Amino acid sequence: MPAPAAVGHRIVHSGPHLTGHTLIDARVRALLADVADLAPLHVTPALPVVDAARELLPDVPHVACFDTVFHKDLPAQARTYAVPERWRAEYGLRRYGFHGLSYSWALQRTAQALGRPVDDLQVVLAHMGGGCSACAVRNGRSVDTTMGLTPLEGLVMSRRSGSLDPGALLWLQRRHGLSTDELDDALHRHSGLLGLSGTSADTRDLVRARAEGDAAAALALETFTHSCRRGIASMAASLDRLDALVFTGEIGEDQPEVREEICSALTVIGVRGGLFVPELELLMREGLRRIDQAVSGVPVLVVATGETQQIAVETRRVLGV
């Protein structure tokens, strides 16, 4: 391999002070440490990697590429929580949104597939993997998304709960004495598909188990797809029209049963079932596939996840290459 000219790092959360992809220096490194607790599953383990890479490759630039940047211009009504002004002004409580690198890549591929410019598209993008979210894009800009201050809000995920009544957390603390650490561990690592099924966080396992009569696996999948439909439909409500629904992420790419169950019950927004099932190897090679019947209804596409490629794009952009 040739010597690297630069290193791009995926950093999930930028925090309030960094609004663009940027070179990592001492100031940026300190700001990242300050927001690590907002994405503990992602930023906390990423920082030692940043430090090791900077130590091993001290003479090349290191660029932080943020998942939050795609959503930096969210409209006020979409990013604002209905909480006391002090919480918003002093504590910085607001919706950030995530999966932005994935969404950036998927949006560009969708525009190519439909033969339309990005700034003339209104689409809902659904990233479904270990973490899951949906995003409304109007004319190339994110205008709404399901994740919030942290990557815990929104859709049901593999091991994360997604949105939960905040009153339930207060009740668990007061009535059952659960500590903050216990809640954190349960909501981040033992909820979602794993918590519902009791056996697996992988939809492939759950589809097989459901076929064998496992009622818990069936409930996990039904709850998951219901959550996805709810999130997708709510994102469509932030658009003037729906030009396409786009799936990406490991589940979005490789779980046709899940895609079908989501789309077949979204006729209210013009999405229909009866989807084609592309060969995974072909999808990975070509990068995208249109999978709807293309007779009527909203186009449905699958885009192979391109976060790594997007990091390369953003790193070159920061360096002016």
pLDDT in tens, 161-184: 999 999 999 999 999 999 999 999
Q: Considering the candidates 59, 67, 181, 202, report the single residue annotated as catalytic.
A: 67
* Structure confidence at residue 191 as a pLDDT band (50, 70, 90): very high
- Please say if the pLDDT value at position 135 is more than 90: yes
Check residues 167 and 283 and name the one with the higher pLDDT. 167
Distance of CA 305 to the CA centre of its chain: 11
Mean of pLDDT over the chain: 96
Percent of the chain with pLDDT strictly greater than 90: 95
pTM of the model: 0.96
Percent of the chain with pLDDT strictly greater than 70: 100
Task: Name every residue whose Cβ is closer than 8 Å to that of residue 265 and which is 6 or more positions away in sequence.
Answer: 225, 229, 273
Residues 172, 176, 180, 185, Cα dihedral to 10°: -80
Question: pLDDT tens digits, residue range 36-79?
Answer: 999 999 999 999 999 999 999 999 999 999 999 999 999 999 99
- Please say if the pLDDT value at position 245 is more than 80: yes
Q: Which of 137, 135, 88 is nearest to 117 (CA)?
A: 137
- Please say if the pLDDT value at position 233 is more than 90: yes
**236-240, long-range: CB within 8 Å, 24+ apart, which pairs?**
236/124, 236/136, 236/269, 238/78, 238/136, 238/138, 238/143, 238/144, 239/122, 239/123, 239/124, 239/136, 239/138, 239/143, 240/122, 240/138
Give the lowest-confidence range in 41-45, 124-128, 144-148: 41-45
- Please say if the pLDDT value at position 254 is more than 90: yes
Question: pLDDT tens digits, residue range 286-295?
Answer: 999 999 997 7
* Structure confidence at residue 248 as a pLDDT band (50, 70, 90): very high
The per-residue pLDDT for 144 is 98
- Please say if the pLDDT value at position 267 is more than 90: yes
Query: Under a CB-based contact definition with an 8 Å cutoff, are residues 43 and 35 in contact?
Result: yes
* Structure confidence at residue 260 as a pLDDT band (50, 70, 90): very high
- Say which DSSP state 154 is in: S
The per-residue pLDDT for 263 is 98
- Please say if the pLDDT value at position 146 is more than 90: yes
The per-residue pLDDT for 308 is 96
Catalytic site residue 25?
no
Give the position of tokens 């668990």.
172
- Please say if the pLDDT value at position 316 is more than 90: yes
| Average pLDDT rounded to a whole number, residues 117-127 | 97
Give the position of tokens 């791009």.
8
Distance of CA 64 to the CA centre of its chain: 18
The per-residue pLDDT for 139 is 96
The per-residue pLDDT for 288 is 95
Vertex 265 angle, CA 261 and 267, to 5°? 135
The beta strands (E) that lie in the chain are given as 7-11, 22-23, 62-66, 122-128, 132-138, 141-145, 244-248, 288-290, 300-303
The per-residue pLDDT for 276 is 96
Distance of CA 174 to the CA centre of its chain: 32
* Structure confidence at residue 1 as a pLDDT band (50, 70, 90): confident
The helix or strand, by DSSP H or E, that contains position 232, with its residue range, turns out to be helix 215-236
